[in-house]
Structure 1
């Protein structure tokens, strides 16, 4: 039996399920339309105010190189609390919190070369793609 080192938040985009370590997740919000930011880089949807904190909202489909047409209405924002600020990741649905095993299978994702993807986790006969958006978000100006 693998030792659990932390928990992850499970979310869905299109037909795939993802899990992100919960250590930097501040909260999960129902989707609210962000105010556009003129001149923002591609993938930035806009900004929202969450209890006096400005949160930059990013499209989850853009971060994971997914076709937005393959996803239903994106209904939640996962807010990350990072040293560089607050970032929201717009996802289709947040499903649950699960334990992350110490060792994750990192094979089988060669078709999607992306810095945010860390590997895969098999849990309850479901495949979850382990992602970590912290470095990407911290690199935004």
Structure 2
């Protein structure tokens, strides 16, 4: 007999998560996937790329596709201001940039602070949500960034990166 809570803790160990904001929600991703955080700069557009792929940037000789998560999650028209940042991620053997509204902090979560994700409709496909991190009044939606970035609907990133 398997319990959801023990399975959740097996896949989401206590650890450090980078907290960032998209629209009104706060999300968290495993800090170990984050290579760096950069201010937003307009990427070079790639023909026939989906809307959420803003283009590519040259990061010290590596061509990095830039994905705007606000467009991907249909969170309205994104605006780019001094708080807009690009989180550079190491996903498998590739580097991907993720545009978010702002980054707040790095948060350490204990297993007790991670709750299973509810089975409800969400902006993010719940397959990519590994749980909810609770910190006093804050709640972080914890995303399995590997699974999200390698999912079928994001597969165009791989093609875009190869085309560049």
**Same fold by TM-score, threshold 0.5 exceeded?**
yes
1:19 partnered with 2:28: yes
* 1:83-106 CA distance string (max 9 Å, x none): 231101100000100113335212
* Alignment correspondent of 2:146: 134
CA separation of 1:120 and 1:98: change in aligned 2, threshold 3 A: same
**How far apart are the structure 2 equivalents of 1:17 and 1:94?**
9
Whose helix fraction is larger, Structure 1's or Structure 2's?
2
**How far apart are the structure 2 equivalents of 1:138 and 1:92?**
22
Deviation beyond 3 Å, 4+ runs, structure 1: 71-74
Which structure 2 residues correspond to residues 22-33 of structure 1 after superposition, within 5 A?
22-33=31-42
Q: Indicate conservation of the 8 Å contact 1:84/1:138, yes or no.
A: no
The one of 30, 50, 56 equivalent to 1:47 is: 56
1:35 partnered with 2:40: no
**How far apart are the structure 1 equivalents of 2:39 and 2:109?**
24
Gaps of 5+ in 1: none
* Alignment correspondent of 2:18: 9
The one of 44, 67, 80 equivalent to 1:73 is: 80
Aligned Cα root-mean-square deviation (Å) = 2.2
* 1:81-140 CA distance string (max 9 Å, x none): 122311011000001001133352124351216032222111131111111221232352
The one of 116, 120, 123 equivalent to 1:110 is: 120
TM value normalised by structure 1: 0.84
**How far apart are the structure 1 equivalents of 2:89 and 2:57?**
13
Gaps of 5+ in 2: 1-12, 159-164
* Alignment correspondent of 2:162: none
How many residues are paired up?
A: 137
Whose strand fraction is larger, Structure 1's or Structure 2's?
1
